[in-house]
Amino acid sequence: MHEPRDEFLSEEDLALRELSYEELIAYWNLWLRLAQSTNDVDEATDEHGVFLRDPAVDERRARAMRERG
């Protein structure tokens, strides 16, 4: 069996291992606050990395499905 490798992680990702519990929680809380600060900007879309959903397209798709029965 091969040992897992960290080749896809950045130096910053790997440095998380070196943080104290308090530092880790502080960064986690900062990340959560930053993520919440964009809610009003992206409320009409669902973004997940490279995926972006347009509510108008979703509505057209739902309407087409209802019409097909």
**Residues 2-13 pLDDT 10s:** 676 656 667 777
pTM, full prediction: 0.43
- Cα dihedral across residues 42, 45, 51, 54: positive or negative: negative
For residue range 52-61, what is the model confidence (pLDDT) as tens digits? 667 787 788 8
Q: Which residue has the tokens 């091969």?
A: 2
53 pairs with which residues across the strands? 46
Pairwise CA distance, residues 33 & 27, whole Å: 10
The tokens for 29 are: 């809380």
